[in-house]
């Protein structure tokens, strides 16, 4: 029996070491910033952006930070002249409200002094509240501990932070995600790279198997469900505008160049906003954003207009991804559109795909 | 403190073990027992220190009453003791339920504040009621207060059982604790298996059960596969959670040289409901049989009384699990199952001799398993409406749907899908596949693999094996290199889940 217990001790210690080493080398979440990454597509990180992005950003020393939601994460290209050949970090957070978007971005910016330019991509729905409940304050305790790390005053938060950091190296999820990372490197599933860009490859799979029609239908259902179950409104008394104002002020105080843009939507999405009585709110919101941009002496690029790229909708039965080069579905543009956005920002020229409001 | 928490695994347990063995070897067995008492009380106080007073006073009062019963041999003392215990559990566990229902009945607005349920109250109360009754029935008494305290609050079994009987524990405390490397190797291995069952299997499948029950509570109309997926996922979550906890308790106790009774014997292998209750939560079934069913008259007054006693026992067994109508319905359902099962066995013996065990076994297993799953729906759902919604969906009342992606892949089955009127829905393909892969794996594990008793049969102390019969398994644990590797692997995987600590389901009861 004593031999058995000794064997166990050896197995447990060596097993733990092996597991941690494997997670470190495979780096399933892209947080260890290896110079030569054997598995660059971080498949398991794609749905864990809120957890892994703060840690990814710490090691990426970005010159440019992109801020927004899933549209930015999936729609912006990882390479472009706008980035000046320097590292860029995509802090697009799917489904996150603006408080989280800006909080995460500030955390990345404050950690290193490398950030010199920030693109803030805006969305109407991120600035709305329920008609019967205009939110004036926001509780960030659900994620703030992640940024406070060991500086938090709460023991529970410190414990939570440590547990998360350890679990990203040693946990059942890290183990299965490491295996997933190796096995699905070539598969048509979404993956982040270590700079936070999502390659959106799952769209390739869906388009090839079910066609664009299914994607459009699903998105339309989602939007109808979200907007139909509650009346959303834009109200200037909610916390949103003040939050954006504060974020821009903080960036300017750190001498960071700020670019403001309104994300593009395809025509069916714009139509749905109108159907759900959000057309006027979109107009009012844009007015307020224009005022805010003026106040901060920033140009505003509005891509949420009916340009030719937006009105041209792919045939539903198409199963060829090239048939819709600029949009995956009405709510999410593709990196080709992201390229055009960055061109506009770089040239300070809209080329008929946006409205430019200069100071 | 949870067995699957960092505090327990890396601080409490190692410190207690080291101190315990130091005291036992260098000073005395008695001092080691005192340490176990202190650490058990600390373990309990970790959750809510104030309720240590409740546990302490419950132990003290019951010890005094037991001595009084032994000395004066008055049955009213036993009744007093049982009533005091029932009053305590009644106040903490059932008062809100009864007041709310009375208020509903009389249309009044009586209200009492929700009381925080003291951890393990159902377990330590029942253990002590059994002790009081046995002092009266059999004139047995434990003179040592320290042994009595340890019998009630020994930390491996304090929170969620097994419900131990004084006749199993007291002799072990009195004999002094004999511990060998065999105890340690077997105990640690069983603990690792239990930890794996809880943290990897039960918590792994929980994510597929919880959202379905939540949706049902919100009134969402579920489809056939979603409802069955949720119900089956919970069926396996509960089993691996609770049996994992029981295995951990048995393993932990062995590390201290103490044998606990077995609590699970592969219940999902049962071929009828009677058999199921011989395999599921064995120590509770034993308690209900010895102290409730037999007290009600058992099978002594004809079959009608026997069946009513059985039904009442199960009804109260349901109420023991929680103060709610769903638990009562669950208990009533199992009471009815047992009555039907006994009735059928009688009829089969008399009139249906052609039913052969060989071909009937798969049918019997399926009926039993489905009946148990239906029961778990009531057990898990938070409201009656939620449970009925899931059950109605399980009958196919809301139609059958499959993820569109999967329907596209199952093109070769399209005539069958059309015949079944299967409707495709967008999204959710991955969730669907994961749910059913988990269910299939856990079903196979629970039905095909040997349980802890079978694996360690020759290594376990007599007290653990007592009263439980198991089929011999070809797979037997041995202190070999291979088993060391297997158990280490289970432990490493289990440890790797510690980032997501979750409570044990039976802590609620």
* Conformation bin of residue A36: beta by default, left when phi > 0, alpha when psi is -120 to 50: beta
The string of DSSP codes covering B383-437 is SHHHHHHHHHHHTTTT--EEEHHHHHHTGGGHHHHHHTTPEEESS-HHHHHHHHH
Q: Are B128 and B84 in contact (CB under 8 A)?
A: no
Give residue A332's pLDDT. 94
CA–CA distance, B228 with B291 (Å, rounded to integer): 36
CB contact under 8 A, A7 and B188: no
A4, A7, A172 member nearest B497 (Cβ): A172
Contact B405 A209 (CB under 8 A): yes
Sorting pLDDT into bands at 50, 70 and 90, what band is B338?
very high
Structure tokens at A283: 């107009």
Check CB contact under 8 Å for A172 and B181: no
Interface-testing mutation among B499, B501, B502, with chain A (most A C-beta atoms within 10 A):
B499
Nearest to B404 among A3, A8, A214 (CB): A214
Q: Quick check: helix, strand or coil at residue A89?
A: strand
Which residues in A lie closer than 8 A to residue B484 (C-beta atoms)? 4, 7-8, 11
Residue B242 tokens read as 């609770």
A322-350 pLDDT, tens per residue?
999 999 999 999 999 999 999 999 999 88
DSSP code at position B300:
T
Residue B192's nearest CA partner among B470, B486, B451 is B486
User: What are phi and psi for residue A328, nearest 5 degrees?
Assistant: -80, -45
Cβ of residue A2 closer than 8 Å to a chain B Cβ: yes
Does residue A120 belong to any structural domain of this protein? yes
Q: Which residues of A touch B437 (CB under 8 A)?
A: none
Q: Which residue, A352, A267, A333, is CA-closest to A306?
A: A267
Q: Does A167 touch chain B (CB under 8 A)?
A: yes
Q: How far apart are CA B346 and CA B348, in angstroms?
A: 5
B403 pairs with which residues across the strands? Answer: B425
- Three-state SS for A29-76 is CCCCCCCCCCCCCEHHHCCCHHHHHHHHHHHHCCCEEEEECHHHHHHC
Cα separation of A53 and B349, whole Å? 67
Distance from the B184 Cα atom to the nearest Cα atom in chain A, whole angstroms? 8
Does B321 qualify as catalytic in the annotation? yes
Q: How far is B502 from chain A (nearest CA, A)?
A: 14
| Degrees, nearest 5: CA angle A125-A126-A129 | 75
Specify the 3-state DSSP secondary structure of A316: coil
Listed in sequence order, the residues at least 6 apart from A294 whose beta carbon sits closer than 8 Å to its beta carbon are A357, A359
CA B215 to chain centre: 26
More confident residue, B337 or B298: B337
B426 to A166: CB separation less than 8 angstroms, yes or no: no
Does residue A307 lie in a domain region? yes
Residues near B503 by beta carbon (within 8 Å), at least 6 away in sequence: B2
Nearest to A11 among B405, B485, B493 (CB): B485
Distance CA B204, CA A269 (A): 38
This complex has an ipTM of: 0.80
Q: From the candidates A8, A44, A319, which should be mutated to test the interface with B, based on the most B CB atoms within 10 A?
A: A8
Say if the Cβ atoms of A172 and B496 lie within 8 Å.
Answer: yes
Q: What is the Cα–Cα distance from B127 to B160, expressed in whole angstroms?
A: 12
Q: How far is CA A163 from each of CA A170, A240, B206, rounded to the nearest angstrom? A: 10, 32, 21
Q: Do B182 and A209 touch (CB under 8 A)?
A: no
Q: How many C-beta neighbours within 10 Å does residue B26 have?
A: 9
CA nearest to A164 within chain B: B499
Q: Give the CATH number, domain containing residue A119.
A: 3.40.50.1110
Interstrand relation of A327-329 and A332-333 (parallel, antiparallel or unpaired): antiparallel
B206 is written with which tokens? 């929980």
User: Which residue of chain B comes nearest to A172, CA vs CA?
Assistant: B496
User: Chain A interface, mutation test: which of B180, B403, B488, most A Cβ atoms within 10 Å?
Assistant: B488
Chains A, B: CB pairs < 8 Å: 74
Chain B interface includes A156 (CB < 8 A) = no
Say how many C-beta atoms besides its own lie within 10 A of residue A259's C-beta: 23
Residue range(s) defining the domain that contains residue A326: 58-137+188-357
For residue B203, pLDDT beyond 80: yes
Nearest by CB: B405 against A2, A210, A221: A210
Residue B72, Cβ density class (10 Å: 0-12 exposed, 13-18 middle, ≥19 buried): exposed
Cis ω for the linkage preceding A239 (within 30 of 0)? no
Q: Provide the token pair at A312.
A: 């041209």
- pLDDT digit string, tens, across residues A253-306: 999 999 999 999 999 999 999 999 999 999 999 999 999 999 999 999 999 998
Helix (H, G, I), strand (E, B) or coil at B465: helix
Is there a domain that residue A145 lies in? no
Q: CA angle, B412 as apex, B411 and B418 as ends, to 5°?
A: 70
3-class DSSP string for B104-121? HHHCCCCCCCCCCCCCCH
Q: A170 in contact with B at a CB cutoff of 8 Å?
A: yes
User: Binning pLDDT at 50, 70 and 90, where does residue B504 land?
Assistant: low
Report the candidate in B291, B288, B332, B286 with the shortest Cα–Cα distance to residue B308.
Answer: B332
Instruction: Summarize pLDDT for B345-356 with one digit per residue, the tens.
Output: 989 888 888 888
- Compute the mean pLDDT over every residue in chain B, rounded to the nearest whole number: 89
In this model, does residue B149 exceed pLDDT 70? yes
pLDDT at B505: 58
Looking at B321, B334, B342, B472, which residue is catalytic? B321
Residue A24 lies in a domain: no
Determine if residue B400 is left, alpha or beta; phi over 0 gives left, psi from -120 to 50 gives alpha, anything else beta: beta
- Structure tokens, B229: 């997926």
Distance CA B212, CA B225 (A): 11
Q: Is the CB of B184 less than 8 angstroms away from the CB of A210?
A: no
Place of tokens 């002799």: B171
Mapping DSSP to helix (H, G, I), strand (E, B) and coil, where does residue A119 land?
strand
The secondary structure element, H or E, covering residue B348 is helix B325-351
| A331 and A71 Cβ atoms separated by less than 8 Å | yes
Question: Chain B within 8 Å of A17 (Cβ-Cβ)?
Answer: no
Instruction: Report the pLDDT value the prediction gives residue A325, as an integer from 0 to 100.
Output: 93
Inter-chain touch B404–A171, beta carbons under 8 Å:
no
> Which of B182, B255, B426 should we substitute to test contact with A (largest number of A Cβ atoms within 10 Å)?
B426
Q: What's the pTM value of the predicted model, to 2 decimals?
A: 0.81
The DSSP H or E segment spanning B214 is helix B203-217
For chain B, the domains span 6-181, 183-508
Contact A171 B181 (CB under 8 A): no
Does A299 fall in a domain?
yes
Q: How far is B473 from chain A (nearest CA, A)?
A: 22
CA distance A331 to A308: 16
A283 touches chain B (CB under 8 A): no
Cβ distance of B489 and A11 shorter than 8 Å: yes
Tell if the CB–CB gap between A174 and B498 is shorter than 8 Å.
Answer: no
Would residue A111 count as lying in a domain?
A: yes
At B439 the pLDDT is: 97
Decide if B496 and A163 are in contact by the 8 Å CB cutoff: no
Distance from CA of B360 to the nearest CA of A (A): 41
Per-residue pLDDT of chain A (359 residues; tens, 9 = 90+): 788 999 999 999 999 999 999 999 999 999 998 888 889 999 999 999 999 999 999 888 999 999 999 999 999 999 999 999 999 999 999 989 999 999 999 999 998 889 999 999 999 999 999 888 888 888 888 888 888 888 888 888 888 888 888 888 888 888 889 999 999 999 889 999 999 999 999 999 889 888 899 889 888 988 888 888 888 899 888 999 999 999 999 999 999 999 999 999 999 999 999 999 999 999 999 999 999 999 999 999 999 998 888 888 899 889 999 999 999 999 999 999 999 999 999 999 888 899 999 86
The residue to which tokens 């009829």 are assigned = B347
Smallest Cα–Cα separation from B13: which of B348, B253, B279, B313?
B253
Where does the pLDDT of residue B471 fall: very low under 50, low under 70, confident under 90, or very high at 90 and above? confident
Query: CA B388, CA B221: separation in Å to the nearest integer?
Result: 11
In a domain, A53, yes or no: no
Of B185, B405, B496, the CB nearest to A171: B496
Sign of CA dihedral A320, A323, A327, A331: negative
* Interchain proximity B497–A163, CB inside 8 Å: no
Which residue in this structure is represented by tokens 């840690």?
A: A55
Asked if residues A126 and A69 have their Cβ atoms less than 8 Å apart, the reply is yes
Distance CA A145, CA A68 (A): 21
Contact A19/B493 with Cβ under 8 angstroms?
no
Q: Do B495 and A16 touch (CB under 8 A)?
A: yes
Domain count, chain A: 1
- Which of A4, A12, A209 lies closest to B491 in CB terms? A12
The reply to whether A214 touches chain B by the CB within 8 Å rule is: yes
Give the residue carrying structure tokens 């490398």: A114
SS3 call for A249: helix
A8 CB near a chain B CB, below 8 Å?
Answer: yes
- By the 10 Å C-beta count (0-12 exposed, 13-18 middle, 19+ buried), B114 is classed as exposed
pLDDT above 70 covers a percentage of chain B that reads 98
């Amino acid at each position: 029996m004593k031999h058995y217990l000794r064997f166990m001790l050896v197995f447990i210690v060596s097993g733990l070491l092996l597991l941690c080493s494997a997670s470190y080398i495979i780096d399933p979440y892209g947080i260890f910033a290896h110079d030569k990454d054997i598995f660059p597509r971080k498949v398991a990180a794609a749905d864990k952006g809120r957890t892994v992005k703060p840690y990814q950003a710490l090691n990426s020393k970005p010159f440019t930070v992109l801020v927004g939601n899933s549209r930015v994460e999936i729609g912006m290209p990882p390479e472009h002249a706008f980035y000046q050949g320097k590292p860029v970090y995509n802090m697009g957070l799917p489904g996150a409200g603006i408080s989280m978007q800006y909080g995460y971005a500030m955390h990345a910016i404050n950690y290193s002094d490398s950030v010199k330019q920030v693109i803030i991509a805006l969305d109407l729905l991120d600035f709305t509240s329920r008609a019967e409940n205009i939110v004036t304050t926001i509780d960030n305790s659900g994620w703030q501990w992640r940024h406070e790390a060991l500086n938090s005053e709460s023991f529970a938060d410190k414990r939570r932070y440590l547990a998360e950091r350890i679990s990203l190296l040693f946990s059942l999820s890290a183990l299965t995600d490491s295996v997933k990372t190796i096995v699905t490197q070539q598969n048509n599933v979404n993956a982040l790279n270590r700079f936070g860009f999502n390659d959106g490859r799952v769209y390739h799979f869906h388009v090839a198997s079910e066609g664009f029609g299914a994607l459009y239908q699903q998105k339309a259902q989602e939007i109808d469900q979200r907007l139909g179950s509650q009346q959303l409104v834009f109200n200037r008394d909610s916390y949103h505008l003040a939050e954006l104002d504060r974020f821009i002020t903080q960036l300017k105080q750190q001498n960071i160049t700020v670019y403001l843009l309104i994300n593009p939507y395809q025509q069916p999405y714009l139509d749905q906003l109108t159907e759900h009585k959000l057309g006027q709110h979109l107009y009012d919101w844009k007015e307020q954003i224009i005022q805010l941009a003026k106040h901060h002496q920033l140009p505003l690029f509005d891509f949420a207009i009916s340009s030719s790229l937006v009105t041209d909708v792919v045939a539903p039965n198409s199963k060829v991804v090239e048939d819709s080069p600029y949009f995956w579905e009405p709510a999410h543009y593709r990196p080709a559109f992201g390229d055009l956005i960055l061109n506009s920002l770089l040239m300070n020229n809209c080329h008929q795909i946006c409205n430019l409001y200069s100071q | 403190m949870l067995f699957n928490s960092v505090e327990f695994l890396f601080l409490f347990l190692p410190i207690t073990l080291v101190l315990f063995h130091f005291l036992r070897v260098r000073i005395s067995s008695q001092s080691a027992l005192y340490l176990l008492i202190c650490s058990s009380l600390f373990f309990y106080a970790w959750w809510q220190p104030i309720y240590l007073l409740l546990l302490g006073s419950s132990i003290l009062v019951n010890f005094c009453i037991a001595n009084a019963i032994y000395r004066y041999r008055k049955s009213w003392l036993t009744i007093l003791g049982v009533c005091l215990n029932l009053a305590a559990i009644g106040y903490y566990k059932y008062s809100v339920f009864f007041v709310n229902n009375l208020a509903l009945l009389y249309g009044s607005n009586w209200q009492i504040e929700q009381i925080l349920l003291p951890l393990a109250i159902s377990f330590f109360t029942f253990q002590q009621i059994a002790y009081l009754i046995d002092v009266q029935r059999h004139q047995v008494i434990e003179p040592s207060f320290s042994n009595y305290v340890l019998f009630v609050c020994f930390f491996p079994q304090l929170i969620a059982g097994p419900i131990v009987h004084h006749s199993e524990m007291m002799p072990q405390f009195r004999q002094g604790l004999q511990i060998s490397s065999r105890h340690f190797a077997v105990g640690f291995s069983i603990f690792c298996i239990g930890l794996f069952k809880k943290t990897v299997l039960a918590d792994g499948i929980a994510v597929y059960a919880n959202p379905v029950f939540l949706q049902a509570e919100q009134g969402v109309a579920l489809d056939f596969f979603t409802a069955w997926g949720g119900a089956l996922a919970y069926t396996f979550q509960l089993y691996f959670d609770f049996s994992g906890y029981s295995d951990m308790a048995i393993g932990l106790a062995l590390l201290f040289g103490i044998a606990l009774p077995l609590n699970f014997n592969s219940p999902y292998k049962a071929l009828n409901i009677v058999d199921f209750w011989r395999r599921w939560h064995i120590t509770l079934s034993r308690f209900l049989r010895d102290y409730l069913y037999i007290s009600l008259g058992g099978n002594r007054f004809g079959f009608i009384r026997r069946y009513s006693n059985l039904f009442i026992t199960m009804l109260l067994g349901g109420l023991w699990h929680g103060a709610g109508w769903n638990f009562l319905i669950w208990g009533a359902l199992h009471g009815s199952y047992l009555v039907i099962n006994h009735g059928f066995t009688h009829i089969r013996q008399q009139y249906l001799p052609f039913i052969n065990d060989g071909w009937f076994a798969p049918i019997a297993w399926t009926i039993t398993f489905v009946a148990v799953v239906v029961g778990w729906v009531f057990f898990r759902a938070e409201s009656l409406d939620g449970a009925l919604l899931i059950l109605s969906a399980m009958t196919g009342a809301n139609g059958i749907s499959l993820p569109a992606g999967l329907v596209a892949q199952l093109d070769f089955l399209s005539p069958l899908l059309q015949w079944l009127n299967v409707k495709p829905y967008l999204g959710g393909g991955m969730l669907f596949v994961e749910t059913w892969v988990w269910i299939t794996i856990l079903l196979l594990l629970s039905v095909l693999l040997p349980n802890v008793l079978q694996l360690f049969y020759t290594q376990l102390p007599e007290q653990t094996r007592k009263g439980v019969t198991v089929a011999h398994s070809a797979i037997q644990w041995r202190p070999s290199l291979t088993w060391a590797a297997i158990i280490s692997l289970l432990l490493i995987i289990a440890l790797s889940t510690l980032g997501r600590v979750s409570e044990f389901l039976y802590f609620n009861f």
